[in-house]
Amino acid sequence: MTVACAVLSAAATGFAQTTTSAPPQNVLQLSANGTVEVQQDLLSMALVTSRDNADAAIVQTQLKTAVDAALTEARKAAQPGQLDVRTGNFSLSPRYTRDGKISGWQGSAELILEGRDFPRITQTAGRITTLSVGNVGFGLSREQRTKVEAEAQTLAIDNFKQKAGELAKDFGFAGYSLREVSVNANQASPMRPRMMAMEAKSMASDSAVPVEAGKTSVVVNVSGSVQLK
């Protein structure tokens, strides 16, 4: 897919230049895009739990116990890049009565499983019994993003050169030379969490949580100016 725009600067006629330097003549400004659609290869699963009690210390202890047990299970399958494990949000806040007095405490904790090995991640999530699946997100790994950006960049440069050549010919010039150019890649679409039905944890404890990744687009833009010749 190509998106291009162009602006041509030409010399004004019938006007005597009195400044020391004349503005650029026959300069064309344009831009072109290169887009590559790719399958998302990074999975992020957030496992969560919440507790409620009149005693803040009890809530905190319960959350810590649940996360520690989940960490112990998750670390058995951890492998750099394939399944990375880290803790997420950990919060504790008071619950108030209508007259503003503290009546109890509520808290929540989160564990993140992330990586490229979808079966390893989903099976590990299925074995964790102290936390429930909160949400799931998909994205691109660093390796995949680098590869796809290179492909999109090649497409964008080819589109830029083709467009510059076509416009030069349309304006009655034999060719062009580059004056300046910039290349910018968009950030891959951020991982978008998708809420999972909590019923997923009602399956057997060792069952994999079902997931399905989609596709995303990586876009590289090339813009600059050329001298028509």
E-strand stretches of 22-64: 27-39, 42-53
Pairing verdict, β 27-39 and 84-96? unpaired
73 in the same domain as 21: no
Is residue 205 situated within a structural domain? Answer: no
Report which residue type is found at 33: N
Reply yes or no on whether the pLDDT at 202 is more than 60: no
49 in the same domain as 111: yes
pLDDT digits (tens, 9 = 90+) for 4-35: 555 555 444 444 444 556 778 899 999 999 99
179 in the same domain as 115: no
Is residue 195 situated within a structural domain? Answer: no
pLDDT digits (tens, 9 = 90+) for 106-126: 999 999 999 999 999 999 999
2 or 49: which leads in pLDDT:
49
Is residue 89 situated within a structural domain? Answer: yes
What SS3 state is found at 29?
strand
* Number of independent structural domains in the chain: 2
pLDDT of amino acid 48 = 97
Give the contacts of 185 (CB within 8 A, at least 6 positions apart). 149, 152, 153, 218, 219, 220, 221
Between helix 118-127 and helix 56-77 the angle, nearest 10°, is: 140
Question: In a 10 Å sphere around its CB, with 0-12 CB exposed, 13-18 middle and 19+ buried, how is residue 104 labelled?
Answer: middle
DSSP 83: B
16 in the same domain as 54: no
Report which residue type is found at 29: Q
154 in the same domain as 116: no
Task: Note down the domain range covering 176.
Answer: 5-38+144-187+221-228
95 in the same domain as 52: yes
102 in the same domain as 28: no
Of the three residues 139, 158, 177, the one that is the final residue of a domain is: 139
Reply yes or no on whether the pLDDT at 188 is more than 80: no
Per-residue pLDDT, averaged over 156-164, amounts to 96
Q: Copy the structure tokens of residue 2.
A: 């190509």
95 in the same domain as 25: no
Per-residue pLDDT, averaged over 127-135, amounts to 94
pLDDT digits (tens, 9 = 90+) for 77-105: 999 999 999 999 999 999 999 999 999 99
pLDDT of amino acid 6 = 55
CA 120 – CA 172 distance, rounded (Å): 61
Residue 50: which CATH number? 3.30.70.2970
Is residue 131 situated within a structural domain? Answer: yes
Q: What percent of the chain has pLDDT over 70?
A: 81
Reply yes or no on whether the pLDDT at 201 is more than 50: no
The pLDDT confidence band at residue 196, using thresholds 50, 70 and 90, is: very low
Is residue 199 situated within a structural domain? Answer: no
26 in the same domain as 50: no
Instruction: Report yes or no: 147 and 50 within 8 Å, Cβ to Cβ.
Output: no
What SS3 state is found at 69?
helix
